[in-house]
Amino acid sequence: MEYVATLAFAKEKDQQDPLNKFREQFYFPQHNGKDAIYLCGNSLGLQSRNVKAAIDQELADWQAYAVEGYWAAKNPWLYYQQYCSKPLTSILGASQQELTVMNTLTVNLHLMMVSFYRPTSQRFKVLMEAGAFPSDQYAIETQVKFHGFDPEVAIIEVSPRPGEHLIRLEDILEIINKESDSLALVLFGGINYYTGQFFDIPAITAAAHRAGAYAGFDLAHVAGNIPVALHNWGVDFAVWCSYKYLNGGPGAVGGAFVHEKHAGNCGLFRLGGWWGNEESARFKMEKGFVPKQEAEGWQHSTAQVFNMVSLKASLELFEAAGIGALRSKSNDMTNYLVFLLQQLNGINFEIITPKNCNERGAQLSLLFLDNGKEIHQQMKNAGIIVDWREPGVIRVSPAPLYNSYQDVFHFYEIISNIASNA
């Protein structure tokens, strides 16, 4: 497509966009009495306008029914997690039996590692990307220590080659093959939070399995951003948060995927909890944990209704829009943003996110070689909300469910003005 760096072009794109109507379903932060240019859905998604009514419904049912709300509420609380897992099936490419929503991302990561990191004296190593999000680093480090291994020996990190920002797939596959005798688990972020690189999940999974290791992924920056096919790709497990692209709200419930070949295996060890027990025996109050033969067998406690309700409301919009259409618009918007950024002069930065839109999501990471923090502050002062990540990246993420081409163009206008005054 031929892009044009004009407001008229951006307006025309918005008029042609069938998803543009969803923008009206969200609240935008205000700057000087107008909507801020919010390009930070990679960090926290916006509040959808249907959230308040959804919360009010649960408050009304709590008031009216008290404990009977587990059965009598409009949305019976006994099955609340399933109201979120069902619409996630198309987003994550999994059956509802392979999905659950519960806890938070890092808690779920620890729970999954209890089941899928079972090291032996021979096979004990974990392969991950260098520069993974700190929470993942901490979880893997402490799990390794818990099993009595030295993280310096047991954790292998794949790094970009000297002078490069991205990790090459061939380097990942080479290390998996090289360490095949000692590798227990391959655990990557689906998208690297800093560079925005989307890793080749099916290729990494297949290589891990050939090496005799499990393959797991942190999909914090993938869920609601890029449609994936976890079941068909044979991924063993995955975890994610829902407060980024899924717009579940600050601190919202996390989620987990367990492939059906493991979910139905009651012999696969996991930490037990009441809500993960087989439903037919749950209320017998007897000893002996018998897990449900699905991903919900990893649940511990009753559904966190008020921590799930905003996600449930947002997912109704995802179902209406369709993840395929959202991905198509996302690719076009990020391509337009790349085009606009290429028109800039007088400002020293580099786009370190992959050029190929199939190797990235909505996020573009701009590495500023100097004055990055000052430029970020100037953006904030001008009504742009993006985020800064040390040591030098501004992350810009137009979310297709609520961002417009005009948002992208106005971002370019403002950064162009910053460059001309530098």
Q: Specify the CATH number for the domain of residue 128.
A: 3.40.640.10
Final residue belonging to a domain, choices 275, 299, 318: 318
Would residue 220 count as lying in a domain?
Answer: yes
When pLDDT is averaged across residues 12-25 and rounded to a whole number, the result is 98
Mean pLDDT for 169-174 is 98
> Do residues 165 and 218 share a domain?
yes
Kindly state whether residues 149 and 263 are assigned to the same domain: yes
Chain segment 38-76, per-residue pLDDT in tens? 999 999 999 999 999 999 999 999 999 999 999 999 999
Same domain, 105 and 236: yes
Residue 163 within a domain: yes
Do 156 and 260 share a domain, yes or no? yes
One domain, residues 219 and 350: no
Residue 193 in any domain: the answer is: yes
The per-residue pLDDT for 422 is: 63
pLDDT of 310 above 80: yes
Domain-located, residue 243: yes
Residue 133: Cβ within 10 Å count:
18
Residues 357 and 251 in one domain: no
Residue 89 inside a domain? The answer is yes
Residue 394 is part of a domain; what is its CATH number? 3.90.1150.10
Q: Is residue 170 part of a domain?
A: yes
Instruction: Using the predicted structure, report yes or no on whether residue 1 has a pLDDT greater than 90.
Output: no
Same domain for 401 and 365, yes or no, is: yes
Pick the closest to residue 148 from 173, 124, 112 (CA basis).
124
Q: What is the pLDDT of residue 284?
A: 79
pLDDT at 160: 98
211 with 308, same domain: the answer is yes
- Average pLDDT value for residue range 4-33: 97
Residues 6+ positions from 91 with CB-CB distance below 8 Å: 223, 224, 227, 228, 318, 323
Q: Which residues contact 127 (CB under 8 A, 6 or more apart)?
A: 156, 157, 158, 172, 175, 176, 179, 183, 185, 186, 187, 188, 208, 213
User: Does residue 202 sit within a domain?
Assistant: yes
Given CA atoms 243, 298, 98, 75 in this order, what sign does their dihedral have? negative
Count of the separate structural domains present in the chain: 2
What tokens does 204 get? Answer: 């990494």
Question: Are residues 349 and 215 part of one domain?
Answer: no
Pairing of the two strands 255-258 and 237-240: antiparallel
Share of the chain above pLDDT 70, in %: 100
Angle, alpha carbons 174-179-180 (nearest 5°)? 95
- Predicted confidence at residue 278, as pLDDT, reads 86
Instruction: List, for residues 98-144, the tens digit of each pLDDT value.
Output: 999 999 999 999 999 999 999 999 999 999 999 999 999 999 999 99
Please tell me the distance from the alpha carbon of residue 46 to that of residue 281, in angstroms, as a whole number.
40
pLDDT digits (tens, 9 = 90+) for 340-364: 999 998 888 999 999 999 999 999 9
- Looking at the structure, tell me whether residues 203 and 119 fall in a common domain: yes
pTM value is 0.96
In terms of Cα–Cα distance, which of 87, 102, 84 is closest to 253?
A: 102
Among 318, 351, 367, where does a domain finish?
A: 318
Domain that holds residue 353: 7-47+322-420
Average pLDDT score over residue span 220-245: 98
Last residue of a domain, one of 273, 299, 318: 318
pLDDT at 314: 98
Judgement on whether residues 106 and 150 belong to the same structural domain of the protein: yes
Same domain (yes/no): 313, 327: no
Contacts of 328 (CB under 8 A, 6+ apart): none
Whether 379 is covered by a domain: the verdict is yes
Q: Mean pLDDT throughout 157-183?
A: 98
